[in-house]
């Protein structure tokens, strides 16, 4: 069974590029447009890794990570921030919440796939 990746981003372009890269590498992909939708997807989909933006409407990415990591079912779910944010304070907050990696947009496909392989391979 293929590993499943969730892409949570309000940008349809980013979701599309990330989905194409992940599915091209053999992963199943589900997506959500904001943190709240991401939480709803987790309730209905088995997911092995989450890529998540920070700045999104309805619920931002770090709030989603906080909610996900508070649930014992997802304690070990790897989460990678995929964002334009490079603020050290945000990175520190993400790390404290359990974020495993931080990729900057526009993202490099090779680094994206390397993060996938490292965390799921």
pTM of the predicted protein model: 0.94
- How does pLDDT run across 75-114, given as a tens digit for each residue? 899 999 999 999 999 999 999 999 999 999 988 899 999 9
How many domains does the chain fold into? 1
Q: How many whole angstroms separate alpha carbon 118 and alpha carbon 121? A: 6
| Full residue range of the structural domain in which residue 97 is found | 4-120
The number of C-alpha atoms within 13 Å of 83 and in the hemisphere containing its C-beta is 23
- CB-based contacts of 47, cutoff 8 Å, min separation 6: 4, 5, 6, 30, 41, 77
Q: Mean pLDDT in the chain?
A: 94
CATH number, domain containing residue 47? 3.40.50.2300
């Amino acid at each position: 069974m293929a590993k499943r990746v969730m892409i949570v981003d309000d940008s349809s372009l980013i979701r599309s590029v990330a989905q194409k890269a992940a599915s091209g590498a053999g992963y199943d992909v589900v997506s959500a447009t904001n943190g709240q939708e991401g939480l709803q997807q987790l309730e209905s989909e088995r997911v092995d890794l989450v890529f998540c933006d920070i700045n999104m409407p309805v619920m931002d990415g770090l709030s989603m990570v906080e909610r996900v990591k508070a649930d014992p079912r997802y304690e070990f779910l790897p989460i990678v921030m995929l964002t334009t944010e490079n603020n050290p304070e945000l990175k520190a907050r993400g790390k404290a919440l359990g974020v495993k990696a931080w990729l900057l947009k526009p993202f490099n496909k090779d680094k994206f796939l390397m993060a996938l392989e490292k965390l799921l391979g």
